[in-house]
Structure 1
Amino acid sequence: MAPLHSASTVLSIRSDFRQGQFRGQLKSELYRNGSRNSYENVYRIPHFQNRYPKAQLNPLTPEYTDIANDWLVSFGVDKELGPSLWTSFVAAKSPELIGYVFYNDVEPRDFLWLCKFVAFIFAFDTKMDESDWTDAVELSCDMILEMSLLLLWNDPENERLLERLNSILDRLMATEASRERLQDHTVHADLVHARNKSKSLLDVKMGAFASALRDLWLEYIEAVPAEFVSREAEIHLDYLSACLWEQKNRKTREEITIPDFIILRRSAGGLMPFVVCTDLIIEHKRQKYAISHLPNSIFYGNNMQNLLAASADCVAWHNDTFSFEKEIYRDGDLHNLVEIVSRHYNCHSHTQAGELVIELLHDRIAEMELVYENLKSEASPEFHPAIDRYMKSCRDWIAGTHEFHLTSVRYKNSNSLSELR
């Protein structure tokens, strides 16, 4: 395939993208005629036309950022990361992301919980991506299983949760070193204890990261009806499974198609656990207003699942355009849509690939808006307020993420040659 130049070529690829019709390129084609620029060339972050109101920072953010960091320290997460990574983590001010997403229409208690949650996710991501755990599944094995255990604790017979636990176990069993550790793990015995109600979750000894998640989880299950707790557990298990895949693939360097990457990136991006936390916001709104939760019949319907998928794709793809250079410099980490699109479509530069990703992102946002209209048209008016609140979360995450990416030092590479267009 020739390098991209014309709008018609871009539109053709956008059509391919929607239909899942992709053609891989031979390595010789990717580099023919020297058309592909080297990593040393300037990468220009493409312009994103934000269609939503500009995000503003919640005034509680600085205070709650300090609280969230101190909360992580109380569990020893700072020691798990080590001085250098902890310093860079604190400098990134990850709760500011929540501050931009939840400027209003959120109670302070929920805002604080979300600030802690995003701090936890970013710290976990730092440990998985930037430490000696980067491609060592055997090192993260115990932590992943501890987190899986606590997510299944209150609903150990749930088929959806068990299916996702099996996915995690399969990923761990696929690696020899982690397979040996898995054989000695007590996850099954601990689940038996949960079924027999003979043991409290607080009695289970856990490491720093799992202990922090447990603290958040216990607060969540106290606030939200059990039906909605299981939704959050399910989505979080998907996230853990996708993180394991990324970790394993940094070592094996397996080829992956764009459709498969998009599905994995959707979960590994970590957005969906936050969007599904809309149930927490709705539950607290119910104490003041007449608003119904979304029943499972709507939540697991095609339109709602497509809405969640579209919002997760939008945020993940936007992230990839900003994080591309940092990830490529980090030992050539290839889990980035800019890099994969560049390889599959023989783009003449990574900047061009980034521009194409933004084109696809704009299309995906339009699809998200269409799904929202379809969702409301099929649902009873009783559930429209909850659907609207979910959609507000989806839109606010796109606008808030954009503002955070523009301001955060997290996506700045120390050797950066990138420019913002």
Structure 2
Amino acid sequence: MRTFAVSALREPPFPARRHGATDRVALESIDWALRHKLIRTGHRLHRLRRADAAGLAGRACPEGPIDRLRLLTDLISWLFVMDDACDEDGLGEAPTRLAPTVAALLDVLDRQGAPAGGPATDAGPLGEALGDLCRRVRATGSPAFLLRFVGDVREYLLALLWEAANREHGRVPELAEYVQMRRHTGAVHPSFTLTELAAGPPPDPSSRADPALVALDLLAADLVCWCNDVFSYGKENVSQPDAHNLVTVIAAGRPAGEEAVALRAAADRFNDSLATYLATEKALLATGHDGFQPALTARRNWIRATYDWSLGADRYA
């Protein structure tokens, strides 16, 4: 599948970079996950190491303070653990099984990074680690980023319940529905938020609400998710088709046996959206509005990082 992805997907025309502290942060993030008991020794530790959260974060955030790179890497590690618990360990098999965990994690988010030591929750290690992430975002002294981050993670958690309902009923979503929900199940928005946090002050509210930037944000989220879907399709369909993959969703509307056609259609969707992204970005840059630059840089970096990281990701092997 990697060979197909390399041949079919257009390489994003952005510089490929990597933060100089990536290897150091990789070790520190594994220690963080162990300290919060997200993982222990054995299979789950090996799985998280192979996922290479720091390799992805270091490409998405190739410059900036090391502590902000650590924060992004720890978020990605947390997301990998959560996704693996849902996809591979059975937590996301049905909404009734996942809902208590989601409710406990929402309770953590409701506290918005308040200092530790408040009333106990039932969130366990996932909640303890998520609370630590929220407290560290709060400690940066940027309420705007904290509120964005909490809202972004909340949308991710609620979208996981949608996935669980689909799994329980063996349901493949319609394409438009999948495109919308994939932006949230992919946890792209909280990742963008922490990448922007590493870049400096947030854009002013009027810039954030600019329709052109909103459109660009959605395009960037789609590109990250669809690149992921094409590269991961082979691994996710070893035993049976994964309903939460763009290729599977496209194939569901076609005659049986047209997997190759669906793969090409998914790649074409990525390539067409990349062309639209570049045109939209060019128009934004032409306005000369400096407030857009951190957001544009973060999204450029994420699109390129996802492509480069996927080329060698053991997670999809």
Query: When the two structures are superposed, what TM-score results if normalisation uses the length of structure 1?
Result: 0.68
Instruction: Choose which of 107, 110, 119 in structure 2 pairs with 1:204.
Output: 119
1:407 aligns with 2:312: yes
Contact 1:133 1:140 in 2 (8 A): yes
The Cα of 1:98 is off from its aligned counterpart by 0.9
Contact 1:55 1:101 in 2 (8 A): no
Q: 1:255–1:50: structure 2 CA closer, same or farther, 3 Å change rule?
A: closer
The Cα of 1:281 is off from its aligned counterpart by 2.3
Q: Which amino acid aligns with 2:83?
A: D
Matched residue, 2:60: 101
Q: 1:268–1:402: structure 2 CA closer, same or farther, 3 Å change rule?
A: same
Contact 1:52 1:395 in 2 (8 A): no
**Matched residue SS, 1:76:** coil
Matched residue, 2:76: 118
Matched residue, 1:336: 245
The Cα of 1:265 is off from its aligned counterpart by 0.7
Q: 1:54–1:227: structure 2 CA closer, same or farther, 3 Å change rule?
A: closer
For the aligned residues, what is the CA RMSD?
Answer: 2.6
**Matched residue SS, 1:202:** coil
**Matched residue SS, 1:304:** helix
Q: Which amino acid aligns with 1:256?
A: P
The Cα of 1:282 is off from its aligned counterpart by 4.0
Contact 1:224 1:279 in 2 (8 A): no
Deviations 1:333-365 (A, max 9, x none): 211101111222448532332222111111112
Q: 1:247–1:85: structure 2 CA closer, same or farther, 3 Å change rule?
A: farther
Q: Which amino acid aligns with 1:99?
A: G
* Equivalent-residue separation in structure 1 for 2:286 and 2:14 (angstroms): 25
1:394 aligns with 2:299: yes
Contact 1:57 1:99 in 2 (8 A): yes
Instruction: Choose which of 151, 160, 166 in structure 2 pairs with 1:243.
Output: 160
**Matched residue SS, 1:118:** helix
**Matched residue SS, 2:92:** coil
* Equivalent-residue separation in structure 2 for 1:135 and 1:48 (angstroms): 32
The Cα of 1:233 is off from its aligned counterpart by 1.6
* Equivalent-residue separation in structure 2 for 1:54 and 1:371 (angstroms): 18
Matches within 5 A, 1:85-164: 85-103=44-62, 105-154=63-112
Matches within 5 A, 1:4-403: 44-45=4-5, 46-53=7-14, 55-79=16-40, 83-103=42-62, 105-154=63-112, 201-205=116-120, 206-283=123-200, 293-346=202-255, 349-376=258-285, 384-403=289-308
Q: 1:240–1:261: structure 2 CA closer, same or farther, 3 Å change rule?
A: same
Deviations 1:3-56 (A, max 9, x none): xxxxxxxxxxxxxxxxxxxxxxxxxxxxxxxxxxxxxx9994453221324524
Contact 1:65 1:93 in 2 (8 A): yes
**Matched residue SS, 1:106:** coil
Q: 1:340–1:377: structure 2 CA closer, same or farther, 3 Å change rule?
A: same
Q: 1:303–1:347: structure 2 CA closer, same or farther, 3 Å change rule?
A: farther
* Equivalent-residue separation in structure 2 for 1:111 and 1:227 (angstroms): 19
**Matched residue SS, 1:77:** coil
Q: 1:247–1:43: structure 2 CA closer, same or farther, 3 Å change rule?
A: farther
* Equivalent-residue separation in structure 1 for 2:86 and 2:213 (angstroms): 30
**Matched residue SS, 1:134:** coil
Contact 2:212 2:280 in 1 (8 A): yes
Matched residue, 1:17: none
* Equivalent-residue separation in structure 1 for 2:236 and 2:128 (angstroms): 29
* Equivalent-residue separation in structure 2 for 1:61 and 1:302 (angstroms): 34
* Equivalent-residue separation in structure 1 for 2:85 and 2:25 (angstroms): 22
* Equivalent-residue separation in structure 1 for 2:2 and 2:151 (angstroms): 41
Number of residue pairs matched?
314
Deviations 1:115-162 (A, max 9, x none): 11111111111111110213133333232122212222249xxxxxxx
Q: Which amino acid aligns with 1:147?
A: L
* Equivalent-residue separation in structure 2 for 1:148 and 1:302 (angstroms): 29
Contact 1:117 1:216 in 2 (8 A): yes
Deviations 1:371-397 (A, max 9, x none): 33444566xx5xx33311211111111
* Equivalent-residue separation in structure 2 for 1:365 and 1:333 (angstroms): 25
* Equivalent-residue separation in structure 2 for 1:127 and 1:51 (angstroms): 31
* Equivalent-residue separation in structure 1 for 2:70 and 2:272 (angstroms): 33
* Equivalent-residue separation in structure 1 for 2:97 and 2:77 (angstroms): 21
**Matched residue SS, 1:50:** coil
* Equivalent-residue separation in structure 2 for 1:76 and 1:59 (angstroms): 28
Contact 2:56 2:305 in 1 (8 A): yes
Query: When the two structures are superposed, what TM-score results if normalisation uses the length of structure 2?
Result: 0.89
Q: Which amino acid aligns with 1:63?
A: R
**Matched residue SS, 2:39:** helix
Q: Which moved more, 1:403-412 or 1:368-377?
A: 368-377
Contact 1:43 1:325 in 2 (8 A): no
The Cα of 1:327 is off from its aligned counterpart by 1.4
